[in-house]
């Protein structure tokens, strides 16, 4: 399939590139660092070689969300967004941008997303999970009341918000101690992000902002496989979860969430997600530079799904959701 669109693809700036180094040994870091920094030559060549027409770029993780100091977080977010705007200007037919946001300060985050959408034409924001405050017991999740005005601005701007993973802080979850292999994409990323997404749903956010559009990577961070169980728990006892939201988790998930294939190239998982949310809410992604463009593209090109579904997932859904002017 030609002219695929991929939308969880990352770059780095000097202030954030070290955040990615911790996931790789020295034998791999030189390659990954090169991938993160080279969006002018290496990445377009990878796209051309594998039939990718456009990528939506975002800052690496956890980046801004790991900066406890508000002023520093605001400055780094602006620096990253200014650089990304230049990348998009240089390659307008190949790249679009997601804003990095200083969620340490909801007012500043609101100002920054509006700046990026209105001045730079960014197509949304990508935020790397919870935000740190300097106190491991006071992490900021975005269902908290202080973010309601921010969410109303996102809804008014009519742009998607990509909730991207990050690891829990060291020592935060004792069950990981002595089992570092569970961190990152093996398990902790999807576990952390799925809880955050469910918090947003249970808080009643989507009753207040019914037009919000949230994107989750990795084919939904495991949530699609658990939708029935989440809502159906103890059905024989007529027992239900108690939360602020008026509807079921599945109702909001199918109405307000979109999924991408980033870093999860499993056809059986894709088909299961399609069964839960429909092919119209799933979009192709690679997760560059942490995954390989060729592997991702070969998979989606050959996956045993209909050609109509392949076109929707590979291209058409992204054009519709992000209002892209794609070739």
pTM (two decimals): 0.96
Other beta carbons within 10 angstroms of residue 121's beta carbon come to: 14
Q: What single-letter DSSP state applies at residue 305?
A: S
d(Cα 321, Cα 211) in Å, to the nearest integer?
12
Give the integer Cα–Cα distance in Å for 97 and 75. Answer: 18
| Residue 170 included in any domain | yes
**Spans in the chain with pLDDT lower than 70:** 326-327
Is 92 among the domain residues? Answer: yes
Q: Is residue 327 part of a domain?
A: no
The pLDDT mean for the chain works out to 95
Chain centre to alpha carbon of residue 94: 19
In a domain, 150, yes or no: yes
Tokens found for residue 119: 């001045």
Among residues 320, 260, 323, the alpha carbon closest in space to that of 296 is found at: 260
Residue pair 129/193 in contact (Cβ under 8 Å)? The answer is yes
Q: What is the pLDDT of residue 27?
A: 81
Structural domain containing residue 109 = 4-322
Of the candidates 216, 64, 99, 209, the residue with the CA atom closest to the CA atom of residue 150? 209
Per-residue model confidence (pLDDT) at position 276: 98
- Report pLDDT for 237: 80
Q: State the total domains in the chain.
A: 1
Check if the beta carbon of residue 307 is closer than 8 Å to that of residue 7.
no
Give pLDDT, residue 26: 80
Residues contacting 155, CB < 8 A, separation 6+: 209, 211, 212
Could you list the active site residues? 287
Give 203's contacts (C-beta < 8 A, 6+ positions apart). Answer: 143, 243, 244, 245
Query: What is the distance between the alpha carbons of residues 209 and 218, in angstroms, rounded to a whole number?
Result: 25
Q: Could you report the per-residue pLDDT of 197-239, keeping only the tens digit for each?
A: 999 999 999 999 999 999 999 999 999 999 999 998 777 787 7
Q: How far is CA 23 from the centre of its chain?
A: 18
User: Which pLDDT belongs to residue 261?
Assistant: 98
CATH number for 161 = 3.20.20.140
């Amino acid at each position: 399939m030609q002219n695929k669109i991929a939308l969880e693809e990352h770059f780095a700036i000097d202030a954030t590139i070290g955040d990615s180094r911790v996931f790789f040994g020295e034998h791999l870091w030189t390659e990954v660092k090169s991938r993160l920094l080279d969006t002018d030559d290496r990445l377009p060549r990878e796209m051309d070689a594998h039939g990718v027409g456009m990528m939506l770029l975002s800052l690496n993780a956890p980046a801004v969300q790991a900066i406890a100091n508000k002023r520093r977080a605001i400055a780094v977010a602006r620096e990253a967004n200014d650089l990304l705007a230049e990348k998009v200007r240089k390659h307008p037919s190949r790249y679009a941008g997601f804003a990095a946001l200083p969620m340490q300060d909801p007012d500043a985050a609101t100002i920054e997303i509006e700046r990026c959408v209105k001045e730079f034409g960014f197509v949304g924001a990508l935020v790397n999970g919870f935000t740190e405050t300097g106190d491991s017991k006071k992490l900021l999740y975005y269902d908290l009341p202080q973010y309601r005005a921010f969410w109303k601005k996102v809804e008014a701007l009519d742009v998607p918000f990509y909730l991207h993973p990050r690891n829990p802080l060291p020592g935060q979850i004792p069950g990981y101690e002595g089992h570092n292999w569970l961190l990152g994409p093996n398990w902790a990323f999807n576990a952390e992000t799925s809880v955050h997404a469910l918090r947003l749903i249970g808080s009643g956010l989507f009753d207040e902002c019914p037009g919000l559009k949230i994107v989750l990577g990795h084919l939904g961070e495991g949530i699609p496989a658990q939708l029935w169980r989440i809502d159906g728990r103890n059905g024989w006892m007529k027992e239900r979860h108690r939360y602020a939201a008026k509807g079921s988790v599945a109702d909001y998930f199918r109405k307000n969430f979109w999924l991408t294939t980033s870093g999860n190239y499993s056809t059986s998982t894709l088909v299961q997600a399609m069964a839960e949310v429909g092919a119209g809410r799933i979009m192709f992604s690679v997760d560059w530079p942490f995954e390989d463009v060729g592997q991702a593209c070969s998979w989606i090109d050959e996956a045993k799904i209909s050609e109509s579904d392949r076109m929707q997932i590979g291209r058409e859904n992204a054009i519709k959701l992000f209002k892209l002017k794609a070739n």
